[in-house]
Structure formats: structure tokens, C-alpha cells
Amino acid sequence: MLSALLFLPLLAAVLLLVPAVSDRVARLAFVAVALVEVVGVAVLWWRYDDPGTGRLAFEEQVSWIPGIGSSYHVGLDGFSLPLVAMTTVVFLACAVFALAEARRPRLQAALFLALETTCLGVFASADLIVFFVFFDLSIVGMYLSINGWGHGDRARSALQFFLYTFLGSLALLVGFVGLYVASESHTFDMVTLAADPPLQGDGAVGVLVLGAVLLGLAVKTPTVPFHTWLPPAHTDAPAIGSAVLAGVMLKLGTYGLVRIAMPMFPDALRAWAPVLVAVGIASVLWGALVALAQTDLKRMIAYTSVNHMGYVVLAVGAAGVVGSDGGTDDAELRRTAITGAVTQMVSHGLLTTALFLLAGVVWSRHRDYAMDQYGGLASHAPRFAALLVVAALGSLGLPGLSGFVAELQIFAGSIGTVPVSAVALIGILLMTAVLLRAVQRLITGPSGPLSEEFTDVRPREWVPVGGLLALAIGVGIFPRPLLDLIEPAAATVASLVAR
Amino acid sequence: MSGVRIEEVLLVAIVVAPALVGAALLGARVVRISSSNAGWLGAAVLAVMAVVSWPVVVSGVSVGTPFVAGSELGLAAGGPAVLLLPTMLVVATLVLTVATSEPETSEPRFTGLMLLFTSAAALTVLATSLPALLVGWELMGVASYALIGYRWADPRRVGSGATAFLTTRGADLGLYLATAAALAGGTDLSLDSLAGMDGGWRDVAAAGVLVAGLGKAAQLPFSFWLARAMDGPSPASALLHSAAMVALGGYLLVRLSPLLEGTSWAGATTSWVGVTTAVLLGCVAIAQTDLKQLLAASTAAQLGFVVLAAGVGATAAGTTHLVAHAAVKSLLFLAAGAWLHALGTKRLFALTGALRLWPALGALSGAGLLALSGLPPLSLWATKDAVLAGVREESLPLYLCALLASALSVAYALVALVILARPRRPRHDIGLDEEQPGTRAVDARVPIALAPLALAGVVLGLLTLPQVLDRVPGRIPVAPSTSELVVSSALVVLVAVGTGTWVLRRWDRCDEQASASSPVTGLLGSWLHLERAAHTLIVRPTLRTAAAAARVDDRIIAGAASGAARLTIRAARSVARLDDRALSGAVARTASGTLRAAGSSARGDASIAGVVQGVARGARRGGRAVRRTSSSGQLHRYYLQLVGSLLVVLVLVSVVVLIESSR
């Protein structure tokens, strides 16, 4: 079942490569397959039972490269299922949004379906080689998307994105090989490696190997100071490319933190924890500050991602600070922080996708992201204005939307273990200023030069954005179904780190 | 589900129903409702909720559902909410009724936002845990942003909304901090558990709560946002800045007074901030030349008494003061709105004699101003004295400052009253219609809606009768003594007479332009320059830092990445050059050297020469094979690739070696 869900989009992508398929069929097939994926994940969620420590639900394992102890091993737990669900939702939103795509829609649909398989594969994989293969293929897919369907200086931005993140993935590979070599049984199996961390007690070596892994993940996430590939990549990417890049692919980095770094390197992670906290705080503040100075809507949204991912890194770092009593006393706090981190990944996936799709609406009207060219859109495009306001409020962490649930838990868990985390609270205020300014420049005040003839959102635009926002509101008001999924997994990882 | 009580359902409905109707009205394109119907629908929903709130607060029910981090999203009709919830709902109903009389504020968008705001405010007073409180608290903030910036085409008004929202949200961060402290302190995040914490986390929680409460209650140094908030429609001010929002800042501190008093410092700090605000903002109110600004400053000053009550633990008295002030102030804001609508101005100078124009409105607002002044036996006189009695028990200096603040409240109320009640000027149309064209008419709905508020403003002093006050939730330190009541009454009358005489003389001799020129009135008129200070100290440095950060990000951080890429390319080129010249030269020299050595050894040993020649033949054959595989035939590229792969292997090997050696 899980593998069928994983590879259905890829299969569809291959079929779409047949030139005889018409553009219309290709667009509809994209939506249909993305919808089947959402339904499939909903079924999985319905049937999901918490598998318990060190186990996976819907597990499948097939021998692949036995020579190096790598197998095709996939499965889901409380971290991966929410992210898999979020991924399918983001791709469905993109599929609907792309219904009017005029440039090579067949190839774009094929590319994005293949990309969906790679992204789902990263979240579902339980083997480091499988993880790495999907991870790198997703980079290739995104490169093709920016280069093939982007605008502006797209070739350069795409190449920069590719080289930067590919180099990061090489660092990741070095770390994986280190784990493999150090493991008793010479394996890449993630469940085995988490159950018996090979570099435990190895001091400097574990720290070095985890350093390589963290470097790779930091580039992908991205955190300060490895974030500079992000703004150009977003600015020049097509709307749905940006949506997938920010909504899904940034989580590949932070997911690696909770899936690989925390359970497989417990004592090394504790050594790196202060660095993670510092990098998290720096990303929160730096991302928000630089976003405040942007005049280009899409660059601004890109920098808000640096801020939002900074909260995740901060929470992971704080959860790695284990008290002298072996972490029994602060286990509740660390669990809360990790739960918040994973909630933030889901929440950011929904909200930033909505924001980037709305930026795509702006671009499609006048080919210009400069916010001061617009203004007064509340009267020209009231539905667009309403969607933008809700998305912005979600992004600034307003209660009633998912971001608040995430950030409150991150801070509630982090400040108790690492009081200096409170400095990052300023990020909340800065983000409020950032998003209020953007909303005000675009939709209030007198009309700008480009506000005239700004057509309001069409159904294929407001349906996906509205759907994403409805989900964000759902999580914001009724967080328990999501948290019930995440909390056991977070408690497990919190105890694993304290080993 | 047989265990669900009807009161529990109603309790949830009080929060949910206005939110749902409000959201539907905001999507008015969907529900297609006409403007006047929207306003009446909103008022009706709130009226029903106000009626429903009585059985709910009488039963004292509570409900809850699990939320984040082990806390509950809970509602309970207990504590100060018993009085505040009905007050708020009644005021909101009357305000929406008045709002239907003006085209702008009867739009579905206005009604929808007011309903959302009321829902958030109801959640705030009913919340049982910090996360639940924070939800209502912040939603209230954003609803106020939308209401203040209601006329969104005007950048100044939208900016005022942003000022209010950013300032209060900055203070709200205190609640995030308090939540974190409460979790770290081992509580279940419920409001009742906070005072029971011990150790440093209790101080952190108290500090966070204090900052958040002071921010919402527009106390110093946050007061300036309230001045900007006056750019919103008057009905919005009538609810936000009397019975909710600002009032709920005071509510939070009253509700969590045990937490504040449990620390060594927070109670005293709260009291002093409250009394300082009451004094300074009282002075600010006297210096205002705009009726709404005067009322706003007096709101901050009156909330100062509530904050003072929270600081000294006179929480029951603080609650009664909140309720009485809510009635009086919403009445006055609605009256100011009615005059603005009719006369097109809210400047005091231009409103001279306005009280006489529409007698019913004039009488009601006159009663409101008298109540605001603290004239015995009207409501605010009694509730304020109940607070003062608690203060005197706590500290004499605090009590004297609070007496000064009461004197100031008489003064600003009398300034407004005397100007508004004077006979109209001979040239009575000066300054009219300067903000908007006035209609010269007051709708009949206004006095009807104002009448219950005025009645409450007159009689709510009854709340402080011992028989009643005992049943108000909260602590009552001591009842005011007769001598205290006499002293405060005498003070009120003296100050009232003094102020009245002063205003009459001043207004006869000069107009406001002349009086506004002195530095003191300038300072007071501009709300102590607090907004300018916030801009100079916080906003502008932040924006400058942001611009600098963006430059650093573009030039240095992004520059470093692309610089590294450029360096790599340059290094690759020079390696290629080295490869072409030095390396191939060296290879050639080595080869000729080898040949020479081989020749010499061949002379020495023919059999070795045979081997060497064999190796050379093999190498030649290998070289040819390499040349065949390298498509370009340029061997230096091949070398470069080789060097590259060797480096990768080297890194991997060194990792392996490191790991193996450390075992």
C-alpha cells in the first residue's frame, strides 16, 4: 500500500512522457493522481496505529544492495505520516493551480509527479541510501522545474540552487558513510542505526560525523548562513515550483534533524545542541530582519521561511540540551519542543505554499513582484485580499491558525530548557511587522500603478489556496488529531536523545 | 452525552456563535445580506448571548478539551468573568445597535469584525488556561487592528491599526514567556495553578503576565497606541476601549493578582505603574483638544486604578471599577461618535455647547461625564473609593498618589463637561464639518441605546455596598471608612469648582491655538511624546538594522557563497594550467629520466631491461586505452577528474581511518 502510494506518481509521470498525451489530459491527470495520493494518505491516517518505539507502521522491506547492508525499507511513524500527508496536499494544491499552465504542461505535470515520488520517498524511507537517493533526485527535479518553467535569471538561480544543495547533500553522504562504517553490522538501515547508535561514546568522531550531517541538513533547511541560495531560487522559480520548494523540500532538511541527527547521534547531538540553538536563534532573527527590508514580495516570503525554519532548528537544539539528571525531569519540555518543531513543519508547509501561490497570482497578473507597484487591491481583488490576509495572519503566528500551535509549543518547550531561547520571541514581533507591511502595501491604501486591471482570483487559484488555509485553520483550532500523532514519536525521540 | 448540561452548551455558544456569524458576515458576498440587516443581525446575536450569559454565570459551569502541551482549551464562568462577561455582551449589543444608525458602521464587514472581536474577548475572559487565554487575547488584538484600520484606503488609519497591534503584540510576548515559564515550573498551564509555582519560574511568569496586561491596558509606557486607536470608527472605540480589549488588560492583572502578589516585587511594581499612569495620563487628558483623545487618555488613567487594585490585591473592587467604567466610557464614546456624525468634528473647541443641541443625548452624556468625574454618589466615585480603601491599607504614598489621580479625573471630566455644556458661540459653525460632512441630526437609536448605559453609570456604585461586594469574586481588603468618603467627596467638589472656573475663564480669553504653544501642554497634548520615543528608540533602529542586514545578506553572505564558487573555478583553471605546463613537463622529464636510467641499467643488466621494456610496453598500451576512453583525447581533463575522485576517496578514507583508529 505505502509503496504503491510512493510510486504511483512516478508511474504516472512516465506515462505522461508519451508525446501523444494531450496537454488537457496531462493537466487533469496531474490533478487526478495528486487527488488519489491525498485520498490514499487519508486512508493510511485512518488505519494508523502508533507503532511504538523503534518500529514503523505500514513497513515494507525488500533486499536491494545487500553487499553494503542497504535495503529498500520504507515505513511511517508519527513524524513521517503528517509530513507525507502535508506533501500530498501541497502537490494537490499545485496541481489545481497549474490547471492553466500554458508552457509545456505535459512535461511539467510529469516532472512534478516524479518530484512528488521523490519527496514522499524521503519522508517514508527507513534506509539511509534510499533516503539519499530520493533526497538527491528531488534536487534534480527542482533544478529542472526552475530552469524549465521559471522566469528572470532562472538558469543562474537554478544552477546556484543545484550546486549549493548538491554540495550539501555530499556532506550528508559523508556523514552517512561514517555511520555505516562505524556500525557493528555495517548497515544503512535507519531503524537499526537508531536502535543502537554506532558512534555513541566515540566523542570527537561522532561529533565530526554528525557535523557533516548537520552541515548537509543546514544547507537544505536552510539556516543562516547557508540560506543565500533560497531567495534567488524562489524569485525565479514558477509559482508551483516555489510552493513545492518551500512547502515540502525545506522540510527534507529539518526532517533529517528529527529523523537522523537526533536518534542516531544522541551524545554528539547533545554536543552540537548549543550550536543548533544559536543557529536557530540567528535564523529566526536574521530571516525576519532581512524580510523586513525586502520590497519584492517573493523574496520577502522566501526570507520568512528562513525565520520559520529557524524556530524548528531552535526547538531541536533545545531538545538536545539534556539536564544532568539524564533528562527525566525535563522530558516533558523536550517532548513539547519536538512536537512543536514537527507541527511547525506541517504548518509552514500549508501556509507558505498558500503564500507562494498567491505570489504566483500577483506575478501572473503583471509580471512584477514589487510590492510598491500595487496597493488598494482590497477593492480591485477582494477575494485575493481576503486570502492574502488569512495567509499572512497564519504566517505571523496568529492563534486560530496552525503556526500558533507550532510556535507556542516550540517556545514553551525551548525556554524551559534553554532560557536564552526567549530572545527568539522577538522574531514573532518582527514577523508581525513584516507581514503587516506586506499586506498593507498590497491591499490597503490608494491604488498603485499596477492595481488597475488586477483580476481577482479565479477558481483554480482560490480553491487550492483556500483549501490550504482551511487546513491551517483546522489544525489551529483542533490540533489534537495532529498532535496525538506527533506526540508519541516526539516522546520517543526525546528519550533517545537522552541516552 | 446525557451528562452535558444546557449551561455548558450555552457557555460554548457564547464564544462560538458570534464567531460563526461574524465570519459569515465577513464573507458577505456569500451570504448576501443587506447592510442594515447585517447590523441588526449582529446586535440580535449579541443580545441573545447577553441574555444567555446570565444563567451561565449563575451556574458557574466550565468546559474544556485537551489542547497543546498538556493544557486545556477550557472555558469557565467564574472569577471576574461573572460580572465582566455580561457587561461586555450588553455593551457590545448596545454599541452595535447604535452602529446601525450610520451607513459606514452598518456594513456587514464592520458587524462581522465586531462579532469576531466580541467572540475573542469572551474567550479571553472565560479562558481557564494560558494557551486558551492567549488565543482569545491575540485574536482580540488582530480584530482591533482590522477595526481601527477599518477605512483601509487611508494609510494613516491603517498605520494606526498597525501601531496598536504591534505595540500590544510586543507586550503579548510576555504571555508566551509566561506560558513557557508555567510549563517549566511544572504546572498544567491553568490560570489557577500559576500562583502555586515556586522558584524563579514564578517570577518569570509574573513578569510576562505583567507586561502583557500593561500593554493591553494601555498603561505606561505603552499608552500611545490608544491615542492612535482613536482613528477607528467611534462604535469600535466604544466597545474596544471601554468594555473589552483595554479593559481586559486590567482583567488579566486582576485575575492573576495572586500570582503578582506571590512574588516579592510584582505587586508593588503593578501598583506603581498603575498609579503613575492614572496621574500622568490624567494630566494628558486635561491637555487634549480632541474629545475622543480626551476620552482615550482618561481610559488609560481609569484603567490605572484597576491595575492599582490588582497590585494591592483589592480585586473585587477592581472588578467593580472595570464594570462601572465600561458602562460610562462606552456611553461617552458613543456620544462622541454621534456628535462627530452630526457635526463633522470631534474637536472640543468646535463642539462647544454640543450638549445643548440634542437634549436627550446631552442629558445622558452629561450624566456620563459627571460619573466619570467621580462625583458622589455616582458609580465611579464608589468603585474608585473601594479601590482607594485597599490602597491606603497597603501604602500611604501610593494612597496619596491615587488621591491626586482622582483629583485629575475630576478635572478632565469637568473640562469636557464645561466646554460641551456652555452656550453655543455666536459664530457657532466655526470648525464644524472639518473631518467629515455632518448630518446635523442624531438618530433616535442613539439616546435609546445610551439610556441603559447612563443608568448603569449612575447606579452601579451599588456594587460596592458591602452586601453586594462580598459576593463579587475576588478579595476585599477593607471597606472605605466614612472619613475617607468625606475627604474624597470634598476633594471632588473642590477640584470640580476650581476646574470649572478655570476652564470658563481660559476659554473666554483665548482659543486653543494660543494655549497649546507652551512646552508643558505640548508634552501633555502629544501623550508625553511616547509614540515619538517608540519610533526613535525602537522602530527606526529596527528598520535601519533590517536594511543593513539585507545589505550584508546580499553582499557578504551571498557574496561569500558565489565568491567561493568563483574561487573554485579560478583554482580549477590554475590547476589545469599547472597540469598543462608543470605536470606534463614533469611527466615528460620523468619519462626521459626513466628511459635514461633504463638505458643505463640495460647496459648493466639485459634481463632487467627486458622487464622494464615489458612494463613500458604495458604502460604504453594502458596509455592508449586511456586515450581511447577519454573522448576528448585531452589527457589533462582526465587527470583533473582523477585528482577530484582521489580527493573524495581521500576524505572518505580519512573518515574511515579516524573511526577505526578511535575504537
Residue pLDDT, tens place only, B506-534: 766 555 544 556 788 888 888 999 999 99
Q: Please tell me the predicted confidence (pLDDT) of residue B436.
A: 85
Residue B525: per-residue pLDDT: 85
Nearest to A192 by CA among A56, A296, A23: A56
Q: Which residue has the higher pLDDT, A33 or B494?
A: A33
A373 CB near a chain B CB, below 8 Å?
no
Would B337 be classed as within a structural domain? yes
**φ, ψ of residue B143 in degrees (nearest 5):** -65, -35
Cβ(B102)–Cβ(B110) below 8 Å = no
Nearest-angstrom CA–CA distance, B29 and A383: 10
Interval A458-473 mean pLDDT: 95
| Residues B453 and B328: beta-carbon distance below 8 Å | yes
Helix axes B635-661, A154-182, angle to 10 degrees: 40
Instruction: Note the pLDDT tens digit of each residue in A59-87.
Output: 999 999 988 889 999 999 999 999 999 99
C-alpha distance from residue B497 to each of B50, B403, B501, B504, B550 (Å): 40, 17, 6, 11, 60
Q: Are B185 and B202 in contact (CB under 8 A)?
A: yes
Task: Check pLDDT > 50 for residue B630.
Answer: no
Q: Tens digit of pLDDT for each residue in A340-399?
A: 999 999 999 999 999 999 999 999 999 999 999 998 998 899 999 999 999 999 999 999
Which region among A38-47, A362-371, B112-121, B647-656 has the lowest average model confidence (pLDDT)? B647-656
Test A336 with B183 for CB contact under 8 angstroms: yes
Check whether B371 has a pLDDT greater than 90.
yes
Q: Helices (H), strands (E): how many in chain A? A: 21, 2
Q: Using a CB-CB distance cutoff of 8 angstroms, which residues of chain B are in contact with residue A206?
A: none
Which cell is A454 given?
Answer: 488586477
Boundaries of domain holding A188: 2-497
119-158 in chain B: CB under 8 A from chain A: 131, 134-136, 138-139, 142, 145, 149, 152-155, 158
How sure is the predictor about B631, in pLDDT bands with cuts at 50, 70 and 90?
A: very low
Cα distances (Å, whole numbers) of residue B188 to A25, A35, A323, B216: 55, 41, 21, 25
Distance CA A395, CA A435 (A): 8
Rg (chain B; Cα; Å): 37
What value of ipTM does the predicted structure carry?
Answer: 0.94
pLDDT at A143 over 60: yes
| Among A142, A138, A140, A135, residue whose Cα is nearest residue A176 | A135
CA B245/CA B216 separation, integer angstroms: 6
Model pLDDT, residue B4: 83
Residue A409 touches chain B, beta carbons under 8 Å: yes
d(CA B620, CA B602): 19
Please tell me the distance from the alpha carbon of residue A66 to that of residue A175, in angstroms, as a whole number. Answer: 20
Per residue in A193-239, pLDDT tens?
999 898 888 788 999 999 999 999 999 999 999 999 999 999 999 99
Across chain A, mean pLDDT equals 93
Give the count of alpha carbons within 13 A of B6, CB side only: 5
Q: Give the three-class secondary structure for B619.
A: helix
| Residue, of B612 and B89, whose pLDDT is higher | B89
Asked if residue B93 belongs to a domain, the reply is yes
Q: Is A370 on the interface with B (CB under 8 A)?
A: no
The residue of chain B nearest to residue A417, with distances taken between CA atoms, is B184
Range list of H helices, B510-662: 512-515, 519-525, 530-534, 540-552, 558-578, 584-604, 606-629, 635-661
Question: Confidence class of residue B624 from pLDDT cuts 50, 70 and 90?
Answer: low
Return the axis-axis angle of helices B266-287 and B379-394, rounded to nearest 10°: 140
User: Least CB-CB distance to B166: which of A177, A182, A429?
Assistant: A429
Cα–Cα distance measured from residue B133 to residue B80, given in angstroms and rounded to the nearest whole number: 14
Q: How many domains are contained in chain A? A: 1
Q: What is the 3-state secondary structure (H, E, C) of A3-41?
A: HHHHHHHHHHHHHHCCCCCCHHHHHHHHHHHHHHHHHHH
The per-residue DSSP string of B269-304 comes to: HHHHHHHHHHHHHHHHHHH-SBHHHHHHHHHHHHHH
Q: Is residue A213 less than 8 Å (CB to CB) from chain B?
A: no
Give me the pLDDT at residue B519, please: 81
Of B168, B189, B210, at which residue does a domain stop? Answer: B189
> Higher confidence at residue A154 or residue B432?
A154
Does B620 reside within a domain?
Answer: no
**CA–CA min distance B182, chain A (Å):** 8
For CA atoms A289, A292, A296, A300, the dihedral sign is positive
Mutate to test the interface with A, among B202, B553, B562 (most CBs of A within 10 A): B553
Range of the domain at B491: 331-522
Q: Tell me if B545 is assigned to some domain.
A: no
Q: Are B68 and A203 a contacting pair at CB < 8 A? A: no
pLDDT tens, B189-198? Answer: 999 999 988 8
Query: Scanning every residue of chain A, which has its alpha carbon at the shortest distance from the alpha carbon of B663?
Result: A202
Nearest to A292, CA basis, from A303, A283, A281, A280 = A303
> What's the rounded Cα separation, in Å, for the pair A7 and A12?
9
Confidence of residue B1 (pLDDT cuts 50, 70, 90): very low
Total domains present in chain B: 2
B300-338 burial, b at 16+ Cβ within 10 Å, e below that, comes to: bbbbbbbbbbbbbbbbbbbbbbbbbbbbbbbbbbbbbbb
In sequence order, which residues have a C-beta less than 8 Å from that of residue B419 and are 6 or more positions away?
B348, B349, B351, B352, B503, B507
- Which residues on chain A are in Cβ contact (under 8 Å) with B107? none
In this structure, of A6-10, A277-281, A452-456, B159-163, the range with the lowest mean pLDDT score is A452-456
